[in-house]
Structure 1
């Protein structure tokens, strides 16, 4: 069975990229054109249930989508190889005779750019590259400042909106576009990732459930018949739930149940292990006296052992908790929040900050939860990346956005290594003291 890729790009290259993607017989492509950053979140929400994976035409829209949406689908972006850059360099050299050190760049891997300078036997200056992408205006300013100061003659950008803005300011600019080989390489990575996900989703998963039947009622149980009827009631609900996830239910004691199913079914039901099942089973899984442990494994025995470990963790956490133990024995939970921790996502303060920064409320709520969890408000980009499960580059963008809008201050720097740039420490100002 094929896959459907949601391609988010700009109008001048999206048809070309789509035509290369659909050369694969088992790949369908939905093309979604964006003209500004706000379009991306809207498009992802609108088409989330129609695509299997996301592909962005560049790094900047990818980062906007990653930070501002909560999609369950895997996301990728087109990378620009040396071939793409050499093609543009050749055009500039042949048409204008400009050398590579008279150009400014953005969103290119710095190691790859330095390698190209070395191959051309030209000294590489890091100030020519805008590596950190905060927003379009920041990238435009990078190119404009270098050009106005006479240090460069042309700008090379990977971002369509940057190109448009530079042209408005009469700054000579070329846009680096992906080659056919770049597109094919990215699609092949996506297909391999999809095959791996299929394999993982087919692996065995075990869900262990404990319900303290004697405590689920407001009033005491007065007879053995009433206890029996409650047991039958919850067993019937669990049988219906098991059928929903193509599982097999086994009762192992009073109020103790085990369901054998697959990782893919539980992943689907819990939105990639981020939340509790839908309202269809709300009466059952909203019980205060229920705890759940989910385990993954190569065998039924291994999955059971991991489920038991998750169940013990759920017991430690308290009533109503769901925890997951993955193949690598890492625990995650509880699942009644988007990132495994409890937090309120719809506070008025977070909504206000979101409207001013363009960061999603979910991202801000995760940061707020991290402040509560770690009992501090000073963070490096690496710490934020670890807490939000994102790349350090993404975390730096978030912190710089907050600083730009007055919701974070740089308070110090740390030097973790003997070499390399110092890391900034930001104080987050998300909470009213």
Structure 2
């Protein structure tokens, strides 16, 4: 599939990259977007983001200035390496015969200059470095001009075209550091490959299952309850609104039971609306409602994952949503700040055998490991597991004891409870 890349930057840099991008024309259409000043970057992206699949910025400055859009689209820029800098310094030495110890530099990549000088034992005492990101061109020009006027530097280096042109007009010796052809090719390749992966991921089929348990039970007992059917129509209206927001197809599978088919990208972009749907159902009914979302390359896999997600949601509690992706990763509860992520698959035969002996499922083990990670202290107690996984403290202690016996958990300490009682054991899961 041919992608469209927006190329953002000053005219000369855009033209240079356009020539190199011609090598990718069989799979990539590059659309140039030229600015006179970097400050125009944000407006250009805002006005044209719907016409391109991803963006290539000619340098770090436009990349940085458009960061508010990075969650919506992929952005890339060529990295300057020490080779780019070394070429400039060699030109200064052999072409202009200037002292490379007395230079003013504006760049985001300050550390690369410092590293190059230190590695080659070049004194840094008279090197003037300015972090240029977010600064107006006029301020950067004044920085260089002031150092040159006061004879603190013999030459200037910039990465910005507008600064370069202004310093040239002031008869101040200046070089402009640019990305090498190889840097640019790598950036274009990286951009296309990541977009292709991102596009494939977003195009995966998503199935959302919504189940209101008590309504289904009541319907089975009394199929002509008018109040029940009126309530079902109200809930159906909310579900239909959500289906429309994710450009999905909507199916009623019974009283209090609904299916939505969409794409992964649409569901992820509208995650807040999904949380809002659960809240709306909660307002309409006192019945237990749960949501399961499944992603997959086929409708069958996505539906299978949605069923598994719904089972986890129902086991966790009322008005809860869980998600199972194409890799078998389970995430939830989706509407709460405290979420855990784990996998229900295991490929380690030794681990699988130990879990069987401990009487613990892989999903429970991975849930506990996820809780331990979320706590951020590489340790866990039965109380933590009880709270996060909604099980009794007694059951949590039993599981930890069994894991410890199989070498899958280790006692690393004790804590004294606030109230009277025996000290609680502190474990670390995983060895």
Task: Tell me if TM exceeds 0.5.
Answer: yes
- Once the 2 structures are TM-superposed, how far is the Cα of residue 170 of structure 1 from its aligned partner? 4.5
Change in CA separation of 1:265 and 1:143 when aligned onto 2, cut-off 3 Å = same
Distance across 1 between alignment mates of 2:246 and 2:170 = 58
Q: Does 1:224 align with 2:219?
A: no
Residue by residue over 1:344-383, the C-alpha shift from the partner in whole angstroms, topping out at 9 and shown as x without a partner, is: xxxxxxxxxxxxxxxxxxxxxxxxxxxxxxxxxxxxxxxx
Distance across 1 between alignment mates of 2:82 and 2:294 = 43
Q: Which residue of 1 aligns with 2:113?
A: 113
SS in 2 for 1:97: coil
Q: Which residue of 2 aligns with 1:131?
A: 131
- Once the 2 structures are TM-superposed, how far is the Cα of residue 86 of structure 1 from its aligned partner? 2.5
Residue by residue over 1:100-130, the C-alpha shift from the partner in whole angstroms, topping out at 9 and shown as x without a partner, is: 3222222253443233224543134596322
TM-score (norm 1): 0.58
Q: How does 1:86-165 map to 2 (within 5 A)?
A: 86-124=86-124, 128-131=128-131, 133-136=133-136, 137-165=138-166
SS in 2 for 1:32: strand
- Once the 2 structures are TM-superposed, how far is the Cα of residue 22 of structure 1 from its aligned partner? 2.8
Distance across 1 between alignment mates of 2:104 and 2:315 = 56
**C-alpha contact (below 8 Å) 1:314/1:334 kept by paired residues:** no
Q: Which residue of 2 aligns with 1:181?
A: 182
Residue by residue over 1:276-328, the C-alpha shift from the partner in whole angstroms, topping out at 9 and shown as x without a partner, is: 49xxxx999977649866455796455555566679999679xxxx8878776
Q: Which residue of 2 aligns with 1:343?
A: none
**C-alpha contact (below 8 Å) 1:143/1:155 kept by paired residues:** yes
**C-alpha contact (below 8 Å) 1:80/1:182 kept by paired residues:** yes
**C-alpha contact (below 8 Å) 1:212/1:255 kept by paired residues:** yes
Change in CA separation of 1:85 and 1:143 when aligned onto 2, cut-off 3 Å = same
Q: Which residue of 2 aligns with 1:19?
A: 19
Q: Which residue of 2 aligns with 1:191?
A: 192
Structure 2: gaps (5+ residues): 216-223, 337-431
- Once the 2 structures are TM-superposed, how far is the Cα of residue 258 of structure 1 from its aligned partner? 4.1
TM-score (norm 2): 0.59
Name the Cα RMSD after superposition.
4.3
- Once the 2 structures are TM-superposed, how far is the Cα of residue 49 of structure 1 from its aligned partner? 1.1
**C-alpha contact (below 8 Å) 1:206/1:307 kept by paired residues:** no
Distance across 2 between alignment mates of 1:315 and 1:242 = 25
SS in 1 for 2:94: helix
Q: Does 1:6 align with 2:41?
A: no
Q: Which residue of 2 aligns with 1:66?
A: 67
Change in CA separation of 1:197 and 1:304 when aligned onto 2, cut-off 3 Å = farther
Change in CA separation of 1:35 and 1:250 when aligned onto 2, cut-off 3 Å = same
Distance across 2 between alignment mates of 1:311 and 1:172 = 71
SS in 2 for 1:171: coil
- Once the 2 structures are TM-superposed, how far is the Cα of residue 192 of structure 1 from its aligned partner? 1.9
Which is greater in Rg?
A: 2
Change in CA separation of 1:145 and 1:265 when aligned onto 2, cut-off 3 Å = same
- Once the 2 structures are TM-superposed, how far is the Cα of residue 31 of structure 1 from its aligned partner? 0.3
SS in 1 for 2:101: helix
Distance across 1 between alignment mates of 2:291 and 2:10 = 45
- Once the 2 structures are TM-superposed, how far is the Cα of residue 184 of structure 1 from its aligned partner? 0.2
Structure 1: gaps (5+ residues): 215-222, 336-433
Distance across 1 between alignment mates of 2:279 and 2:126 = 55
- Once the 2 structures are TM-superposed, how far is the Cα of residue 38 of structure 1 from its aligned partner? 4.3
